[in-house]
């Protein structure tokens, strides 16, 4: 039975009374004087009033420009992560430390002292973070898959997953293999090699059985992918080269099997590899199998985030996900947070991603345990949370980056819609210091005011050359009114409430126990031209009640200023 953890205090929610007012602020500063720290400004909120002179920076919000929904942040629950967490659960009699950690990571309740991570990626079979090699059918030549057994996965994987699900009922679960069974490859092993096309139908059935295996354990899957990093073959851990044409044929076969076996609402997400080939593999995949795939996902290890726009421009109605990036031990805390916000958790969303994920959810202080012999993390990989052998734990810069972003887009109401990205631009003499994401979250009761959120990175730490972190006095423009806030060097998330002036959230729902992606009648609304530079708008945008990516017909062309990446982890590629 899930243990509930009582928080020392309940964060108060102060509803606006006289016009638009900012009461709620979460902040993580460069010097860690605030680390995911909540402030309620009652009884002295920041008021929106008549506009005046702009600040050193000026954030201009165009809420008539509505883009994709944001469906959560999180990480991969690898076998190693599940083992570490399961060991924590067993380390003390009442498991209080374990449940406190899960609450802090996953509780999605509005106002809770938690990140509300709501998207988990789970390997099917072994990865480089498993105790040993295994697939769900290691019987060579078993084309009937009579030896398939979902319980080849360690039992603690499902135990920890169900504990997380008991805390977060809007959790999206995305499953995918790091390799097909070795006998379906020219290498004869899960480590490295190339997929053999004559096993296309067998492998599609293997993936269907994986879905059925999760279903047999009462776990609903949101999405499935066919192969992690299909352009990577490494003989030291589970990997497999699968060409775009091969993945397309597997996807076509799998989509048909899923539709015929009760999984029509589960999405197939293609590619699952780096930004640098956004113009290649993902586009070929959509050309070959446009009806099989809901979209594609990207990793961070090569290329730049703006390359997501290449795919979006070619296929604006297909979804984009961001599903993997890993920090490494020994890098700078604040530099990492800046890079994450600019490129993933604000920048990735600006470039049309529906989510943002890191790699391992939990590891020990050595970045372990890893698959024996793997070279995938030459410098130890850093997880979102480090769990120590004495039962203590600490969260890392990956947590703080994602937590700040997650607070802006979680459903405001139980069963309510997720936040959507809206139009925003930044002006003023210090505009280059700020990286900004703007979002609107609908309400269950149509009479309730909408929540508007900003996630703001202030990277003004070298304004005149040497190190000198300087806050930026900023004006915020919204519906012809103006508020003023001085953003510290760090990441700030704030929100306010305002009446609904034409946004449609009909048909959206947050309950992950429902079936995702079922067809329904689209709802059409008309957006008013905003006139912002960099925004190309359609006047009639269809919003599908569940597959909301139709809204991506509205293009957003803002470029994120790239910085040199300060952590050097790269997967070792065997060409």
- The catalytic site residues sit at 229, 324
Give, to the nearest 10 degrees, the angle between helix 155-167 and helix 96-106: 60
Give the β-pairing of 57-69 and 223-225: unpaired
**Residues, the chain:** 575
Task: Say which residue the tokens 């990735």 belong to.
Answer: 348
Six-digit token string for 157: 């994987």
Cis ω for the linkage preceding 369 (within 30 of 0): yes
CA–CA separation, 302 and 429 (whole Å): 32
Task: Say which residue the tokens 């372990």 belong to.
Answer: 368
Task: Give the closest residue to 559 by CA, choosing from 425, 406, 408.
Answer: 425
Per-residue H/E/C for 356-425: EEEEECEECCCCCCCCCCCCCCCCCEECCEEECCCCCEEECHHHHHHHHHHCCCCCCCCCCCCEEEEEEE
Paired with 526 in beta bridges are 540
At 203, give phi and psi (nearest 5°).
Answer: -65, -40
Per-residue H/E/C for 158-204: HHHHHHHHHHCCCCEEEEEECCCCHHHECCCCCECCEECHHHHHHHH
DSSP 199-265: GHHHHHHHHHHHHHHHHHTT---SEEES-SSTT---TTSB--B--HHHHHHHHHHHHHHHHHTT-TT
Task: Say which residue the tokens 């999760």 belong to.
Answer: 214
């Amino acid at each position: 039975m899930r243990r509930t953890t009582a928080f020392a205090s309940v964060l108060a929610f102060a509803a606006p009374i006289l016009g638009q007012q900012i009461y709620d602020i979460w902040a993580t500063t460069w010097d860690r004087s605030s680390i995911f720290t909540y402030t309620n400004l009652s009884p002295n909120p920041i008021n929106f009033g008549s506009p005046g002179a702009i600040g050193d920076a000026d954030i201009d919000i165009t809420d008539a420009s509505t883009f994709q929904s944001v469906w959560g942040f999180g990480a991969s629950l690898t076998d190693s992560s599940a083992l570490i967490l399961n060991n924590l659960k067993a380390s003390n009699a009442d498991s209080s430390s374990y449940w406190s950690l899960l609450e802090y990571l996953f509780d999605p309740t509005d106002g809770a002292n938690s990140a509300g991570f709501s998207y988990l990626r789970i390997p099917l079979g072994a990865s480089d973070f498993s105790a040993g090699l295994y697939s769900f059918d290691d019987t060579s030549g078993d084309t009937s898959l009579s030896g398939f057994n979902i319980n080849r996965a360690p039992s603690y994987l499902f135990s920890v997953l169900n504990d997380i699900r008991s805390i977060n009922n809007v959790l999206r679960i995305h499953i995918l293999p790091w390799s097909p069974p070795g006998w379906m490859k020219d290498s004869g092993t899960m480590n490295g090699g190339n997929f053999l096309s004559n096993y296309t139908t067998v492998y599609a059935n293997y993936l269907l059985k994986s879905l059925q295996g999760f279903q047999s354990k009462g776990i609903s899957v949101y999405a499935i992918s066919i192969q992690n990093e299909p352009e990577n073959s490494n003989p030291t851990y589970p990997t497999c080269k699968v060409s775009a044409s091969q993945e397309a044929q597997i996807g076509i076969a799998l989509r048909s099997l899923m539709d015929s076996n009760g999984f029509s609402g589960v999405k197939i997400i293609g590619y699952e590899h780096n930004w640098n080939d956004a113009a290649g593999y993902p586009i070929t995949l959509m050309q070959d199998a446009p009806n099989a795939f809901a979209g594609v996902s990207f990793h961070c290890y090569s290329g730049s985030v703006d390359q997501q726009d290449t795919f979006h421009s070619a296929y604006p109605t297909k979804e984009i996900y961001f599903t993997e990036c890993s920090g490494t031990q020994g890098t700078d805390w604040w530099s990492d947070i800046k890079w994450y916000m600019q490129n993933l958790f604000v920048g990735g969303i600006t470039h049309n991603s529906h989510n943002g994920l890191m790699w391992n959810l939990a590891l020990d202080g050595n970045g372990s345990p890893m698959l024996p012999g793997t070279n995938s993390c030459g410098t130890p990989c850093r997880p979102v949370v480090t769990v120590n052998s004495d039962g203590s734990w600490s969260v890392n810069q990956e947590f703080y980056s994602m937590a700040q972003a997650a607070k802006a887009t979680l459903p405001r109401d139980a069963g309510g819609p997720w936040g959507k990205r809206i139009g925003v631009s930044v002006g003023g003499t210090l505009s280059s210091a700020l990286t900004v994401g703007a979002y609107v979250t609908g309400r269950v009761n149509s009479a309730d005011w909408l929540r508007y959120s900003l996630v703001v990175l202030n990277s003004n730490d070298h304004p005149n050359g040497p190190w000198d972190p300087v806050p930026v006095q900023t004006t915020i423009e919204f519906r012809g009114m103006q508020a003023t806030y001085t953003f510290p060097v760090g990441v700030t998330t704030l929100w306010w409430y305002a009446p609904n002036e034409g946004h449609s959230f009909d048909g959206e729902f947050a309950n992950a126990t429902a079936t995702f992606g079922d067809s329904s009648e689209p709802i059409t609304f008309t957006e008013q031209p905003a006139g912002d530079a960099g925004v190309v708008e359609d006047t009639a945008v269809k919003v599908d009640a569940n597959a909301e990516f139709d809204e991506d017909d509205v293009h957003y062309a803002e470029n994120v200023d790239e910085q040199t990446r300060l952590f050097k982890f790269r997967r070792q590629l065997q060409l």
